[in-house]
Amino acid sequence: MKNKLTFIVAFLVAVTLITVAVSGCNDKEGDPAPVDEVYYPADEALYADVYPDYAKEVYLEYVFDPELSAEQNDQLEKELHETGLYWIDIDANGEVVWVPADTAEGAALIDPDKPTVVNIHGMMMDGYTAVEKYYVNSTIGSAEELGLPEGTDYASVKTLKLWKDKGWNVGIYNWARFTAESINFWDIENKVWSTNGTTNVRWASSDTVQHDYPMQYSVGELFAADYIRAVNLLPDDFGKSEIRFTAHSMGGQLVAAGAFLLSEVSKGATPQISPDKLPDRITMDDTFFGVKLALGDSEIDMFQKGLTVRWSGEAMPGDRCGMAYAEAIKALAYQGVVIEYYSYDGSALHLAISPDIREILLDNTCYILMNPDYEHYFTAVGKTYMKMGDGHTAERQFSQCSIVRDYPEDDSGLTDEQKIAYANALPTDELRKLVGKVFEITEGATTLTTTDDVYTELTKEQVLTRFSL
């Protein structure tokens, strides 16, 4: 019981520290559904009979506040509409530039012959004034470790540019103003799936005021709508090369809801988006599945109950957004999306996953436990390393920086454990073969580079036993 109490305290401490905050089509369980019935690979509550025409109907809604001046209202509207999808350009000085994806200028940046990655950030307590710029933490690693050119100013390196330099089209979805909820993470996940939470779909302006004007659509739907409008501007052959979505922390909830909706509206006689424009792969970097724990005779439930899924009008699967997230992952995996989940033993988000959700992850993703043991980097510059908090953001650094590696053209001599050490540089066709497997790092966890990483395969039972409380 002492260890359980220690975990509770550690979890609550971790929440306050976080600053930012399958393989093909799985076999259907049981007998095939009759031809005249609809088969739902995930909880039926996620599926709507009719979806909005997202590109035409679903936009951010701003309500004019009669108590404010016209100038103040104009400022609020401008701040709100910073939310959305951006394509990344690199200017003449080597700096990252954001260009709205729903513009001709943004569309011109996309080369359909190149693979594409879209990044979705997590919780930002300062999201009312800040956006996630994806800097590499200059305390962790070095330019030399990542094989960057001599003389690189490591403190100014952004992971977005690393991907551009490797030949990718790069996008980022900014929803910072919706994630500015202090440490009340449940208020953020509600907005992704629902509009009937206690905070509706409110957003924070730069004066820290929360604006809870009622909105018709959830943030997951806003993401889907923005993505469809953006790809509608691109050449028809966009999608012939690989598309990835990567998410960190709370961003996992958004990418799951958005990707699920995109998949649903790609079906039927009049699809809203072509299936080849959907993500082929989703990377989840220490993402958040909510808090539902049974500790002896006690429970720790940190989520809002009584929500409905906005687009279906049905009760939230499992009466919690975390389960909706897991069910969406199940549905996407069934559709053939390749999903990898990264976390580590000391992650509060990982420890808080309920057993039923953990089993869904083990069955539908490649489940990777890495151990961001970066204390020596911090100690060298006189800083203190808190693994639960600092490791949470460092885990994303590890994952995204791994793209700098080159995967060998001939991998016939590589074992599964050696292949998984390439992380984001591992080709998706190879990752597909590893879905349903679990890997744990055993060497190389003290460096940001993945070149010295060694992994061991675990069984699902070992993971379930280790993290049972």
Residue 183 has a pLDDT of: 85
How high is the pLDDT of residue 23? 33
CA atoms within 13 A on the CB side of 211: 22
Helices (H) and strands (E) in the chain, counts: 16, 14
pLDDT at 37: 72
Residue 22 has, within 13 A of its CA and on its CB side, a CA count of 22
What is the pLDDT confidence band of residue 32, given thresholds at 50, 70 and 90? low
Q: Is the pLDDT of residue 36 over 90?
A: no
Q: What's the pLDDT score for residue 449?
A: 95
Look at the block and give the residue holding tokens 């929500």. 307
What confidence score (pLDDT) does residue 2 get? 40
| Digit-coded pLDDT (tens) for 230-254 | 999 999 999 999 999 999 999 999 9
Model confidence, pTM: 0.92
For residue 299, what pLDDT band results from cuts at 50, 70 and 90? confident
Average pLDDT over residues 182-203: 93
CB 21 within 8 A of CB 122: yes
Give the pLDDT band of residue 16 (cuts 50, 70, 90). very low
> Residue 3: is its pLDDT beyond 70?
no
pLDDT of residue 196: 95
Which ranges constitute the DSSP H helices of 298-426? 321-334, 348-351, 355-364, 375-380, 387-401, 416-420
For the chain, what are the domain ranges? Answer: 2-466
Residue 8 has pLDDT above 60, yes or no: no
Predicted pLDDT of residue 80: 94
Least confident segment among 18-27, 97-106, 232-241, 296-305: 18-27
Under 8 Å between Cβ of 242 and 281: yes
Mean pLDDT confidence for 291-317: 88
Taking all residues of the chain, what is their mean pLDDT, rounded to a whole number? 91
Q: Distances in Å between the alpha carbon of 79 and those of 58, 173, 175, 178, 301?
A: 18, 15, 11, 11, 34
Helix (H) or strand (E) holding 86: strand 84-90
pLDDT at 469: 59
10 vs 309, higher pLDDT: 309
pLDDT of 45 reads 98
Q: What is the mean pLDDT of residues 174-193?
A: 94
Regarding predicted confidence, which is higher, 30 or 439?
439
The whole-angstrom separation of Cα 263 and Cα 279 is: 9
Say how far apart CA 174 and CA 83 lie, in whole Å.
5
Of 36-45, 55-64, 201-210, where does mean pLDDT reach its minimum?
Answer: 36-45
Relative to beta strand 210-211, strand 203-204 is antiparallel
Least confident of 145-149, 259-263, 309-313, 403-407: 145-149
DSSP notation for 239-301: TSS-EEEEEETTHHHHHHHHHHHHHHTT-SSS-SS-GGGS-SEEEEES-----EEEETTEEEE
- Residues contacting 182, CB < 8 A, separation 6+: 125
Say what angle helices 219-232 and 185-193 make with each other, to 10 degrees.
Answer: 50
Average pLDDT over every residue of 431-459: 97
Furthest CA-CA distance within the chain: 69
How far is the CA of 410 from the CAs of 110, 315, 407, 413, 419, in angstroms? 29, 49, 9, 8, 12
Per-residue pLDDT, 31: 55
Res. 257: pLDDT tops 90: yes
- Say which residue, 21 or 249, is predicted with more confidence: 249
Say how many residues make up the chain: 469
DSSP label at 318? G
Q: What percent of the chain clears pLDDT 90, i.e. is strictly above it?
A: 84
pLDDT more than 70, % of the chain? 92
What does the pLDDT read at residue 423?
A: 98
Cα(258)–Cα(268) distance, integer angstroms = 18
21 pLDDT more than 60: no
Q: In the predicted model, is pLDDT for residue 90 greater than 50?
A: yes
How many CB atoms sit inside 10 A of residue 85's CB?
Answer: 25
339 within 8 A of 277, measured Cβ to Cβ: no
Check pLDDT > 90 for residue 14.
Answer: no
